[in-house]
């Protein structure tokens, strides 16, 4: 078993989970759009319309966040393939394994992520 098997497996699991969540969110969004198209609610003047608009924007925001995470996970897999995984893109030092456990797609160490490391 190569050293990358653990991180690779974790990244693939997280990626599959993220892609499944994104697919469900996209179905939910499409359903919300279909439902609002058949409604005659006026988003500006109908109290229910404001709720629908809020839900739609909230869903779009969540989808954007999940898309970003999926892209980061794909990049982490590429980094793993190219031997860069686990190294900070800011300072080049190893990323703490505890950080990678919580956020396997992390590309920076805590100091660089927070901007506290002088370069």
Q: Residue 50 to residues 4, 36, 43, 56: CA-CA distances in angstroms? A: 49, 11, 5, 10
**In this structure, how many other beta carbons lie within 10 angstroms of the beta carbon of residue 104?**
20
Range of the domain at 36: 5-85
Q: How many domains does the chain have?
A: 2
Same domain, 95 and 43: no
Shared domain for 116 and 70, answered yes or no, is no
| 107/93 Cα distance (integer angstroms) | 11
pLDDT tens per residue, the chain (119 residues)?
356 679 999 999 999 999 999 999 999 999 888 877 766 655 555 555 567 778 889 999 999 999 999 999 999 999 999 999 999 999 999 999 999 999 999 999 999 998 766 54
Are residue 64 and residue 77 in the same domain, yes or no? yes
Contact at 8 Å (CB) between 72 and 41?
A: no
Residues 90 and 64 in one domain: no
State whether 46 and 35 are in the same domain. Answer: yes
User: Is residue 107 domain-shared with residue 76, that is, in the same domain?
Assistant: no
């Amino acid at each position: 078993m190569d050293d990358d098997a653990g991180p690779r497996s974790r990244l693939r699991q997280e990626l599959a989970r993220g892609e499944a969540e994104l697919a469900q969110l996209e179905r939910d969004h499409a359903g919300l759009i279909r439902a609002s198209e058949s409604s005659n609610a006026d988003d500006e003047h109908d109290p229910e319309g404001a709720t629908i608009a809020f839900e739609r924007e909230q869903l779009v925001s969540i989808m954007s966040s999940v898309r970003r995470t999926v892209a980061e996970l794909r990049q982490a897999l590429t980094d793993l393939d190219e031997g860069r995984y686990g190294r900070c893109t800011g300072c080049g030092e190893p990323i703490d394994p505890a950080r990678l456990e919580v956020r396997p797609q992390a590309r920076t160490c805590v100091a660089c992520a927070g901007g506290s490391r002088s370069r």
